[in-house]
Structure 1
Amino acid sequence: MPSINVPLISIALADPTRFGILRSISSCEMISSHALCEMFGVTPATVSHHLQQLRLASLVVSSRDGRWRRHKVNREVLGAYVSALSKLALVHTEAHEDSASV
């Protein structure tokens, strides 16, 4: 599993538009910046900003395709993030059960 920055990913996903962009990207193999602009009704600069934050969190990988960039989800990082959150929930559940039995 890759090394991930859970707080950075959490911050990146806290923005509703950014979360929606990630969800849209994850629903297909690859998607262009232009398509994301049309889907979300925002400017290229706004999409670019959100994608930069998702790339900094290693959630999205981008490549140039002519005039537009194409983006795909880094599923390995996303999977590691989900796993880290699952472990956190498990630790919380176990701690709660231990304190209830005292």
Structure 2
Amino acid sequence: MKSTIPMFCLAAALVALAGCDAAEQSAQKLVEKAEEAVQEVAREAISETVNELNKQVDDIQQSANEVLGKPEASQEQQDGEDEQKPSDQVMPPAGGVET
């Protein structure tokens, strides 16, 4: 009977350790899922904030154009021309003309 008690204790300890390992793995998976959820919520919040900020900037630009008396269609044409200017113009060399 004396030899069965230590064997029982050893078996119980092994079962407990296996249970602890399984619990640790479950806890780790839960932590990973929580991190993923937090990252997704953060992405959505940042995306919404950036979209709202862009909308406010557009509204401010439109208000500024109205105050300056620039019609909206003219502003769009000017933006298109500004984008084409660098490719249409040829810049002279910075060092001058060589002879």
Q: TM-score, normalised by structure 2?
A: 0.31
More helix by share: 2
Higher RCO (Cα < 8 Å, 6 or more apart): 1
Q: Radius of gyration: which is bigger?
A: 2
Q: TM-score, normalised by structure 1?
A: 0.31
